[in-house]
Homo-oligomer: A and B are copies of this chain.
Amino acid sequence: MVSTEARSISNRPSSDAIAQRILASAKDEFAQFGYEGARMQRVADRAGVPKPNIHYHYKSKRRLYLAVLETTIESWNRAFDDVDPEANPAEVLEAFIRDKLSQAQQDPAASRVFANEMIQGAPNLNTYLHTDMQAWLQTRTAVIRQWMDQNKMQKVDPERLIFLIWAATQHYADFQVQALALLNRAQFNEQVATETADFLVSFILRGCGLSSERTNT
């Protein structure tokens, strides 16, 4: 196998570059139609290559899908990946919410690929859910519990708090067509994203007892 570096100095598009184009097209296709509904022909059309070329770069439809899943998971929760228990809970949660929403706007396909896999029953991610993701969640909820023990925030179920943040932010990727229709907006641009992020941050922080505002009356 030739290294990426060796090929990248050649004068025509490297094989890796084409593999990447196929991967990106596949992500869109799987995001929209799910694994069973996805068609290799449409992936080829989207990528602008003949259908058999896909099989040269990826052995099968399933391998291609697994490659897409892998790239999707990598950037999943990066904004909450490193948390200092000494940090300000409000700031940490705000950064997490804004980052998740920013991802939902900039890469909705990633969110939809994951959503399809979950709806389908996670046939390819069941192990991941019970190992890596489980571990990720436990270290984060441990920090949140620490904050609650120190009376830095309202006592709430930490797992379900994370679920709510995931659901509320990913909603704008997975249900984008619905949100735009009901908000009377043509596209999910920066302005809509900012309005949404501001709402979610202030609403969720208030739910966590982290708001500077006081309630009415």
Interface residues in chain A, defined as those with a beta carbon under 8 Å from any beta carbon in chain B? 31-39, 112, 115-116, 118-122, 126, 129-130, 133-134, 137, 151, 153-154, 156-157, 159-161, 163-164, 166-168, 170-171, 174-175, 177-179, 181-183, 195-196, 199-200, 202-204, 206-207, 209, 211, 215-217
Contact = CB atoms under 8 A, between A and B. Distances in A.
B133 A174 contact: no
A214 to B, nearest CB: 9
Given A163-B171, A178-B129, A153 B216 contact: yes
Contact of A154 (B39, B196, B215): B215
- Give the oligomeric copy count: 2
Given A33-B36, A134-B181, A151-B216, 20 more contacts: A31-B119, A33-B120, A34-B37, A115-B174, A115-B175, A118-B178, A122-B177, A129-B177, A133-B182, A134-B182, A137-B182, A154-B215, A156-B203, A157-B195, A159-B182, A163-B168, A163-B179, A167-B175, A203-B207, A206-B207
Nearest to A213: B154
A119 B116 contact: yes
Nearest to A39: B36
A199 B118 contact: no
Contacts of A178: 118, 122, 129, 133
B159 A167 contact: no
A171 B177 contact: no
Contacts of A196: 160
A154 B121 CA distance: 38
A177 B34 contact: no
Contacts of A118: 174-175, 177-178
